[in-house]
Amino acid sequence: MTKFLKQLIHITLLVSAIGATPAHADDGEKNVNLKEVQIVASRTTNTANGYVTNLRGSDIAKGKPIDAALELMPGVTKENGVLKIDGLPVSEIYLNGMKLTDTSELSKLPAEMLDKVRVTYLAGSSQNAASSGGTISIIMRKPPQMGYYGVAFGSARYDKSFGFGNEGLGGMIYSRVKGLSLYDYMYAGWKQYEVSSEQSVPDAYGQPDYIDESTRSHSFDFSNRFSLTQDINSRSSIAAGYYAGANRDRPASKSVLDGQTSTIGKRTEMATHNVTVRYNLTLNDNGGDMTISGDYLNRNTDQKAVYGLDGSLRGNTRERQNSNMWKLSADFVHPLTEKLILQWGGSAQLIDSEYTPKGYLDGAALYGSSTKGFTPIGYAEVSGTIGRIGYGAGVNLQLNRIEYSALGADSHNTQWGIHPTVQLRVPLNASGATMMRVSYKRMLDDIPFSAISSARRWLDAYNYTVGNPALKAMTTDYANLSLSLLGGKINLGAFYSHIKDWIYWETRQDPENPDIYYSRPVNVKGYHSFGLRAEWTIKPVKFWRFKLTGRFSFYPEDMTIVGVHYGMTRTRSFISFNNNLTFKGGWGGSLNAQIEPTFRTYDRTYHAVYGIDLRAYKYLLKNKMQIVLSGTPLGKQRKLDLHLPGGGEVVYRNTSPVQSIGITVNWWFNGGKKVKVKSIESGDQQYNEVSDSR
């Protein structure tokens, strides 16, 4: 009996320690510190469409911002600054139930404040059919009632290309007063950069002319996200959120070709406002639920530009674009049995965008345009379990209608479709350590407003992009098969996708000036790709955890662009190696490396890029303060070749050094006592731009 009691006490202490957090992340609870807790599997719970991971006290949440911690989650990578799940860009990111209008918040807030993270591999039928690459829902620790917690932070960085810059100050506070919860995040940042590049364009004889380019810029960013949640009674609550963001940018670029100097100076002001109201009602004791929400998003851009050539003024423009988005949605959840849940609902979104240019630019005409869009959605889905098999299946009925007006001519386009989603999770052994996942989804992209406008957007003095009013949104069929081994330590996958009306940016020569080239989006009838993925996550020693990810894709080509037929099968690969280190005495750090070898897509060749990022941290003052040093000691930036239909190439290469080092100081504060109160926040819309890439 004595032996049994000792074992019972030992198990109780271990279970209690799973929720323990460092003193700096305290929410009113007494901390329990243990030397080592090896119950890693208990942190993650698998679902039919993804998983939920508890990050309280986890070593992967220490000494890094939220987005860096997400990179260590199963299936999640960060490529060129974009978070991806199974290789697909994340469609939506929620923080405390609120869809982020500006995801830069994730790169500022420390991950120690996290409670749980829910990852879905594919977006469900309840979301817009354009939501392809799954979602990430981040839940922060709940503050105590009549209490609070938060963080204040400051950062600065030194870049080899221009010196000191990129300073920022910010903070977050999360509190509760009886049934009312309050969240506020604020950030102000001052940035500057200096970019140098080389470009070559073919002359009249097909020989390359070399262009030296440089751009200097300084900017100011401000953002504030504020939300209130009030519990009306035990069954209902109402929430309201407001986001305000402002950016002021002052880039100035210079291009030199054959002794001729072209300059572009811009002054850009951009403001974003997002207002959300959401009402939630529990309908019955079985878990029935109703949510009604309304959302308004406004983005206003005002850009002034001056164009010069060898000291003479060639253009003076002012371009304004104002976009408004309204969305109303209603969602219902009805458990039919303990193992079967029915969800249904609908939404309607209205979009209105106005583009108003003024001034003049030699060789270019400036025309205003207006765009209107309407997207109604209806959906229904079921989820549950049959034996040990988890499943989810749903259907989305969606219509995208767009009206475009420019130069006194009106055009419109309507796309609609039925978009099913099916996901299965099948354990292959008794313990569930080996598991198979099968999924299929049909997607319809958002209306590509930003790629429709006929306005010229100058990348530099010799390159611009222009929209296509006849452009259609892409429709995608995506299938995935995954196998998880050893309790998630090894994950293997295979995928296939077919895209109808794929948007591709073809490169052409300006008919009025042979030294200038432009790209224009066009729809491709069919685009196929398939590939393999592998991921290995392990903690080989007490202080070291790593995740090694690899992806290899095939892209068969069959398309004619500007009279040239492309019929090769191309390949593309990606490798990342993430390392997390945790030492005694409050020390720790990380080392991340990525490489994307050279690949070609139709008339473009993207040359290899790679980078190594380092981070080291130390807790001070009884874990109330944290100092983080981070930097990039080694890396290679993109070189792009555009193969022209008439022969020759336009080559662009970024020559700016990538080396940098930065410092961040975090200061945690908290107070109050622990009382559980539920929280509901919301935010539904975002504005995406479809643009050409370099």
What residue type is 503 in one-letter code?
I
Nearest to 254 by CA among 194, 208, 299: 194
Q: Is the pLDDT of residue 25 over 50?
A: no
Distance CA(287)–CA(292), nearest Å, equals: 16
| pLDDT value of residue 673 | 59
Q: Band of the pLDDT at 682, cuts 50, 70, 90?
A: very low
| pLDDT value of residue 415 | 82
- Tokens at 48, concatenated: 């039919």
What residue type is 216 in one-letter code?
R
Q: Which range, of 171-185, 210-224, 505-519, averages the lowest pLDDT? A: 505-519
Q: Is the pLDDT of residue 222 over 90?
A: yes
Q: Which range, of 281-295, 393-407, 671-685, averages the lowest pLDDT? A: 671-685
Average pLDDT over residues 536-554: 95
Q: C-alpha dihedral over 81, 84, 89, 94, to 10 degrees?
A: -90
For residue 341, give every residue at least 6 positions away whose Cβ sits within 8 Å of its Cβ, in sequence order, or none: 287, 333, 334, 335, 382, 383, 384
For residue 590, give every residue at least 6 positions away whose Cβ sits within 8 Å of its Cβ, in sequence order, or none: 63, 64, 68, 578, 579, 580, 581, 613, 614, 615
| pLDDT value of residue 320 | 94
The torsion region of residue 549 among left (phi > 0), alpha (psi -120 to 50) and beta comes to beta
CA distances to 351, 528, 694 from 501, rounded to whole Å, are 22, 12, 22
| pLDDT value of residue 271 | 97
Q: Is 151 helix (H, G, I), strand (E, B) or coil?
A: strand
Domains of the chain: which residue ranges?
Answer: 11-671
Q: Band of the pLDDT at 42, cuts 50, 70, 90?
A: low
- Count CB neighbours of 227 within 10 A: 26
Q: Are 557 and 525 in contact (CB under 8 A)?
A: no
DSSP H or E segment with residue 18: helix 2-18
CA quadruple 435, 441, 447, 449: dihedral sign: positive
For residue 513, give every residue at least 6 positions away whose Cβ sits within 8 Å of its Cβ, in sequence order, or none: 363
**Sequential DSSP letters for 439-508:** EEEEEEPPP-GGGT---EEEEETTEEEE--TT----EEEEEEEEEEEGGGTEEEEEEEEEEEEEEEEEEE
Q: Are 586 and 623 in contact (CB under 8 A)?
A: yes
Nearest to 553 by CA among 122, 118, 84: 84
For residue 393, give every residue at least 6 positions away whose Cβ sits within 8 Å of its Cβ, in sequence order, or none: 381, 382, 383, 420, 421, 422, 423
CA distances to 268, 271, 275, 298, 599 from 221, rounded to whole Å, are 12, 10, 20, 17, 35
Q: Is the pLDDT of residue 35 over 80?
A: no
Q: Is the pLDDT of residue 676 over 70?
A: no
Residue holding tokens 């940035």?
Answer: 191
Nearest to 557 by CA among 683, 647, 643, 640: 643
Output DSSP code: residue 3: H
| pLDDT value of residue 122 | 77
| pLDDT value of residue 131 | 59
User: What percent of the chain stands above pLDDT 70?
Assistant: 89
Q: Which range, of 63-67, 406-410, 518-522, 667-671, averages the lowest pLDDT? A: 406-410
Q: Are 135 and 163 in contact (CB under 8 A)?
A: no
Q: Is the pLDDT of residue 674 over 70?
A: no
**pLDDT tens-digit series, residues 358-387:** 998 887 777 888 889 898 999 999 988 898
Nearest to 219 by CA among 283, 308, 303, 294: 303
Average pLDDT over residues 478-502: 92
**pLDDT tens-digit series, residues 164-216:** 888 999 999 999 888 888 999 999 999 988 889 998 888 777 788 888 889 99
- Tokens at 175, concatenated: 């509190």
Q: Which range, of 116-120, 153-157, 245-249, averages the lowest pLDDT? A: 116-120
Q: Are 628 and 614 in contact (CB under 8 A)?
A: no
DSSP H or E segment with residue 70: helix 66-70
CA quadruple 493, 498, 499, 504: dihedral sign: positive
Nearest to 465 by CA among 476, 451, 482: 451
Instruction: Tell me yes or no: is domain 11-671 CATH 1.10.1040.10.
Output: no
Output DSSP code: residue 43: G
Q: What is the CA radius of gyration of the chain?
A: 26
Residue holding tokens 């990179």?
Answer: 71
Average pLDDT over residues 450-478: 79
Q: Is the pLDDT of residue 16 over 50?
A: no
| pLDDT value of residue 693 | 62
Residue holding tokens 């005495």?
Answer: 585
Q: Are 212 and 186 in contact (CB under 8 A)?
A: no
Distance CA(448)–CA(83), nearest Å, equals: 21
Is residue 577 exposed (0-12), middle (13-18) or buried (19+ Cβ within 10 Å)?
Answer: middle
- Count CB neighbours of 7 within 10 A: 10
Q: Is the pLDDT of residue 449 over 80?
A: no
Q: Band of the pLDDT at 514, cuts 50, 70, 90?
A: confident
- Count CB neighbours of 233 within 10 A: 9
| pLDDT value of residue 187 | 97
CA distances to 247, 377, 406, 472, 584 from 445, rounded to whole Å, are 27, 13, 23, 9, 48
**pLDDT tens-digit series, residues 241-260:** 999 999 999 999 999 888 88
Q: Is the pLDDT of residue 40 over 60?
A: no
User: What percent of the chain stands above pLDDT 90?
Assistant: 45
Rounded to an integer, what is the distance from CA 321 to the centroid of its chain?
23
Nearest to 255 by CA among 317, 197, 315: 197
Task: Output 502 or 24, whichever has higher pLDDT.
Answer: 502
- Strands 463-466 and 517-541 turn out to be parallel
Most confident of 349-358, 455-464, 638-647: 349-358
Residue holding tokens 């490396």?
Answer: 593
Q: Which range, of 36-45, 292-301, 438-447, 597-606, averages the lowest pLDDT? A: 36-45
Is residue 229 exposed (0-12), middle (13-18) or buried (19+ Cβ within 10 Å)?
Answer: buried
Average pLDDT over residues 291-313: 93
DSSP H or E segment with residue 8: helix 2-18
